[in-house]
Amino acid sequence: MAATGSVTGSIAKLQRHSGEPLRDQILQRCRWLLLGGHVVPGQKLPLRPLAEEFNTSLMPVRDALNRLVADGALELSSSRTIRVPEMTGDRLLELHEIRRALEGMAAEQATHHISNTAIDRAAQLIGEMEAALAAGDFDGYIRNHYSFHFTIYAAANRPTLLGMIEVLWLQVGPWFRQGIERASAMRIDANTCHDRVIGALRARDATGVRAAIEEDIFDRIEDLHASGP
Amino acid sequence: MAATGSVTGSIAKLQRHSGEPLRDQILQRCRWLLLGGHVVPGQKLPLRPLAEEFNTSLMPVRDALNRLVADGALELSSSRTIRVPEMTGDRLLELHEIRRALEGMAAEQATHHISNTAIDRAAQLIGEMEAALAAGDFDGYIRNHYSFHFTIYAAANRPTLLGMIEVLWLQVGPWFRQGIERASAMRIDANTCHDRVIGALRARDATGVRAAIEEDIFDRIEDLHASGP
DNA sequence: TATGATAATTTGTGATAACAAACACTATGA
DNA sequence: TCATAGTGTTTGTTATCACAAATTATCATA
């Protein structure tokens, strides 16, 4: 068994009493670990080593991880160790059924409110996505992919809905990263869906936007699921 | 301002080292406080008084309340006091758009899996609901109403979906209680929707079940919203 | 009486330590 | 060689305490 070592790649130090609580700063970093797939299904995340990396006590780390457990992004196996959940076929299916419903709803509603500059920004992100993927920069690809979707969803002005979608992305994050790395060579045409999203947004065609987003989600799970076991 | 006094009505003592953690026992009780509307929008929930009522330290109470804040069922106002959020028109609309999508999905999928005994049990709950409402027993009404919906949703076998729906109910709980008390006299025909749900379940008509559930949710918000400011 | 400064209290956050349950390892026996 | 009991370690949970920020109460001043 390989020593996990540093999982955070922590650079900037956390600061106490600086506006937001340590718990939230740690939560933010852990979120990106999941979204970016820097942790792997099955991996253990013990409190004490993490607290040492962050130079804090157990408590804020515990708070952050408990939150992620509540969100379903982490799990307590045998109620004694916190780990990244394995992705099963059932869970993947369920998560994407929900994603389709909620992200479809957000996209449809965003159509009526999103600004032209936000649409331009989203369109630009498609290019940066492709460039990152071509360069083998998976981190950059995932970051841009995230930004593309969430600039659109955020325009729906539905804070609760947006939070629920974020939780879903946290849950599929580790799986998504693995799938992207496996399937990167064979796939770039997810961007055809993305282009259709942009086109429908420009035309203010809410139904079209929803359909394009739903198809994007559907295609993604098809491809990634087909590319691996 | 009235002294809040005991909010829990705590009877059974909590037990340490008895299977599930104190945090979860407290969380369970707080959940029912919200679902049953025993706390009121705007009400403060300070850690120390609660800890004293539960005869525990701050920590498990803190954990439970943090979880509910994460779920959006409570909020940190000015990041120094925890309180039950006020219900705004926007929030109510958003919550019910999401409820309609997710509960519709759960009901539709439950249709194919739910057992006949579960259907019978749900049908029976309709009667108990009516009886409780007629007797002015709002607690009983709400409890039966909850059981009716969740015996159906649980049959869908979608754990993540079920958890998300529970969170939504936590958020509308206090508002729902207020609305029921206000509108109790004028409304019993929500049960016509409930009867239609049972009928469609017996016919294994998934589309009909979804439609009936969606209409139930829609009617409910219409009535309760109309009955109050 | 109204208003603004200031002190006292209350609040959530974070650190440290003690604890019990789960885990991992080792020695023992067949 | 393999199973098993025993022991030491690791893990999350809870209690207690210290702290800073926000709130509330108090009182001087206009």
pLDDT at position B12: 74
Model confidence at B9, pLDDT cuts 50, 70, 90, reads confident
Model confidence at B110, pLDDT cuts 50, 70, 90, reads very high
Q: What is the mean predicted confidence (pLDDT) over A185-209?
A: 86
CB < 8 Å from B in window 140-199 of A: 158-161, 163-164, 171
Closest Cα to residue A95, out of A78, A71, A129, A79?
Answer: A71
pLDDT at position A184: 64
Q: What is the mean predicted confidence (pLDDT) over B205-209?
A: 98
Model confidence at A181, pLDDT cuts 50, 70, 90, reads confident
Question: Is the dihedral angle over the CA atoms A9, A11, A12, A17 positive or is it negative?
Answer: positive
Q: Is the pLDDT of residue A75 over 50?
A: yes
Q: What is the mean predicted confidence (pLDDT) over A186-194?
A: 71
Q: Is the pLDDT of residue B3 over 50?
A: no
pLDDT at position B34: 97
Closest Cα to residue A193, out of A166, A218, A170, A175?
Answer: A218
Tell if the CB–CB gap between A71 and B70 is shorter than 8 Å: yes
Q: What is the mean predicted confidence (pLDDT) over B85-89?
A: 94
Radius of gyration of chain A (CA): 18
pLDDT tens for each residue of A94-117: 999 999 999 999 999 999 999 999
Question: Is domain A89-227 given the CATH code 1.20.120.530 in the classification?
Answer: yes
Model confidence at B147, pLDDT cuts 50, 70, 90, reads very high
Tokens standing for residue B99: 């409820």
pLDDT tens for each residue of A18-56: 889 999 999 999 999 999 999 999 999 999 999 999 999
HEC states along B117-184?
A: HHHHHHHHHHHHHHHHHHCCCHHHHHHHHHHHHHHHHHCCCCHHHHHHHHHHHHHHHHHHHHHHHHHH
Q: What is the mean predicted confidence (pLDDT) over A129-157?
A: 95
CA angle at residue A92 from A106 to A187, to 5 degrees? 80
Distance CA B163, CA B75 (A): 19
Distance CA B187, CA B227 (A): 10
Closest Cα to residue B91, out of B228, B226, B221, B215?
Answer: B221
E-strand ranges in B7-106 read: 75-77, 81-83
Q: What is the mean predicted confidence (pLDDT) over B104-132?
A: 97
Q: Is the pLDDT of residue A3 over 90?
A: no
CB < 8 Å from A in window 76-135 of B: 91, 94-95, 97-98, 101-102, 105
The CATH architecture that domain B22-83 belongs to is Orthogonal Bundle (1.10)
pLDDT at position B6: 75
Residues of chain A with CATH 1.10.10.10: 22-83
Residues of chain B with CATH 1.20.120.530: 89-227
Q: What is the mean predicted confidence (pLDDT) over B118-141?
A: 94
Q: What is the mean predicted confidence (pLDDT) over A80-93?
A: 94
On whether the CB atoms of residues B190 and B216 are closer than 8 A, the answer is yes
Distance A77 CA to D5 C1' (A): 25
Continuous segment of H or E residues that includes residue A166: helix A159-183
Nearest residue on chain B to A27, alpha-carbon basis: B70
Q: What are phi and psi of B161, to 5 degrees?
A: -60, -45
Closest Cα to residue A87, out of A216, A221, A185?
Answer: A221
Model confidence at A2, pLDDT cuts 50, 70, 90, reads very low
Q: What is the mean predicted confidence (pLDDT) over A147-164?
A: 98
Cross-chain CB nearest to A160 (options B70, B94, B163): B94
Tell if the CB–CB gap between B101 and A101 is shorter than 8 Å: yes
What distance lies between CA A3 and its chain's CA centroid? 26
